[in-house]
Amino acid sequence: MYAIVEIGGKQVKVEKNQKIFVNRLDAKEGSKVTFDNILLLDNAGKVVLGTPSVKGAAVEAKIIKHLKDDKVIVFKKKRRKGYKVKNGHRQFLTEIMVEKILEKGAKPVADAKSEVKESKPAVEKKLAAKKPAAKKPAAKKPAAKKSAAKKPAAKKTTKKA
């Protein structure tokens, strides 16, 4: 059984007991995470395709460790111009191990947006109401005409006595 899951904006094919590296996740080492954006499930030839995701399906994984990837060197050069720039980059990664692929029975996760709206205190609502409305940007003025070429300055003459 395998699944194609969207993790951190990337689509990853996962199987049970597989270790994979993904972009850094905001969770502690040893904790369990659940990915519910399953795009495709394959259970012994029975393929379930999501529109856009499979309802009720989830992948449970355990975070093994956080680490940094190998350094990537970025070297830019323009020949005969004396331009050289050397930069390096190390991507932050998280190693996870897939523990379960659930076809059905995954707990639906409540929208975080709806919880935030309900838990706002009345004081914050009042402050938000008192804020002045944003000003509309002023209409663009037509571009000023460019003046003709500058005239040369008049020569100063001095009288000799």
Q: How far apart are CA 114 and CA 158, in angstroms?
A: 84
* Least confident window among 7-16, 109-118, 123-132: 109-118
Q: In this structure, are residues 59 and 17 in contact, taking their beta carbons and an 8 Å threshold? A: no
Q: What is the mean pLDDT of residues 82-100?
A: 97
CA distance to 30, 31, 75, 84, per residue, from 78 (Å): 47, 48, 10, 7
The per-residue pLDDT for 144 is: 62
The per-residue pLDDT for 15 is: 96
What percent of the chain is predicted at pLDDT more than 90? 60
Q: What is the mean pLDDT of residues 103-117?
A: 56
Question: At 75, is the secondary structure helix, strand, or coil?
Answer: strand
How is residue 90 annotated by DSSP?
Answer: -
The per-residue pLDDT for 140 is: 67
Q: Which residues contact 49 (CB under 8 A, 6 or more apart)?
A: 39, 40
Q: Which residues contact 63 (CB under 8 A, 6 or more apart)?
A: 25, 27, 28, 29, 30, 31, 32, 33, 94, 95, 96
Bridge partner residues of 23 (DSSP): 93
CA angle 108, 109, 114 (to 5 degrees): 125
Model confidence at 111: pLDDT above 60 = no
**Residue 18 token pair:** 């597989």
